[in-house]
Amino acid sequence: QVQLVQSGAEVKKPGASVKVSCKASGYMFISYYMHWVRQAPGQGLEWMGIINPSGGSTTYAQKFQGRVTMTRDTSTSTVYMELSSLRSEDTAVYFCARGTLVPSMEGSFDSWGQGTLVTVSS
Amino acid sequence: SYVLTQPPSVSMAPGKTARITCGGNILGSKSVHWYQQKPGQAPVVVIDYDSDRPSGIPERFSGSKSGNTATLTISRVEAGDEADYYCQVWDSSSDHHVFGGGTKLTVL
């Protein structure tokens, strides 16, 4: 079965960077897009961006342009999301979520990681 | 940027039918997906492509769309349906995915 396992919780100081990993198993890694979605405490879901694990191409939400980098390692079926210049407002749970079969973009996010809490505090 | 609008909350008694709406510009031309999220858990897709129910989702959950409004309908509401519900689309003009603000369903 499809499984997405994320790295553990992080505590960072303002201005630092954080890198969250998401290891996929149970399907052909390079065939499906992977998304990153975050959720601040008590708030809704916010889409951050998408990576095509096959070629590594990315699209980022405008809000995170310049601060987020999504990469992948096909040898370990792992995607990474790095967010830089952290501020307190970045305190949130960060989820990876499997998207659709490449190249279709219109489908749902059918499997989700367990979430990684990133706390930004001085 | 593209915006999806949901009511912040909906309340319904057990056994009744709950309807959660999602509005957006030219929504009729987009595929709408619905997620259920319970406290402390990751979201789960309950309806995709406007009205398709993924395997394992009870038949009580259904989706529809009319004009610029999509609706998630939960029939015979149960206490276990109490959760936050989000709609989501892909906006082809920006190549971005968008979530609605979420609706908290309270079962009275």
pLDDT at residue A112, as a whole number:
98
Give the pLDDT score at B37: 98
What is the predicted pLDDT for the residue at A74? 97
Shortest CA distance to B46 belongs to which of B14, B13, B85?
Answer: B85
Query: Which of A35, A108, A115 is the closest to B45 by Cβ?
Result: A108
Buried b (16+ CB within 10 A) or exposed e, A55-78: eeeebbbeebeebbbbebeeeebb
> Which A positions 16-75 lie with beta carbon below 8 A of chain B?
35, 37, 44-47, 50, 59, 61-62
Assess contact for B69 and B75: CB atoms under 8 A.
no
Q: What is the pLDDT of residue B35?
A: 98
Cβ-based contacts of B90 with chain A (< 8 Å): 105-106
- The percentage of residues in chain B with a pLDDT greater than 90, rounded to a whole number, is 99
Q: Nearest-CA residue of chain A relative to B54? A: A110
User: Side chain identity at A96, as an amino acid letter?
Assistant: C
Cβ-based contacts of A114 with chain B (< 8 Å):
42
CA distance A122 to chain B (A): 25
pLDDT band (50, 70, 90) for residue B105: very high
Q: What's the CA gap between B79 and B90, in Å, rounded?
A: 31
Report in angstroms the alpha-carbon separations of B22 from A37, B50, B69.
Answer: 19, 11, 6
Residue A61 confidence (pLDDT):
97
Structure confidence at residue A43 (pLDDT): 98
- What's chain B's average pLDDT? 97
What are the pLDDT digits (tens) for B47-94?
999 999 999 999 999 999 999 999 999 999 999 999 999 999 999 999
For residue B58, the one-letter residue type is P
Which residues are bridge partners to A31 per DSSP?
A: none
Mean pLDDT by 10 residues, chain A (122 residues): 98 98 98 98 98 96 97 98 98 97 92 98 96
Mutate to test the interface with A, among B47, B72, B90, B95 (most CBs of A within 10 A): B90
**pLDDT confidence of residue B89:** 97
What lies within 8 Å, CB to CB, of B99 at 6+ separation is A37, A44, A45, A46, A47, B4, B86, B87, B88
- The alpha carbon of residue B42 is apart from the nearest alpha carbon of chain A, in Å, by 6
Q: Give the distance between the most distant pair of CA atoms in chain B.
A: 41
Convert the pLDDT of each residue in A55-69 to its tens digit: 999 999 999 999 999
Closest chain B CA to residue A61 = B96
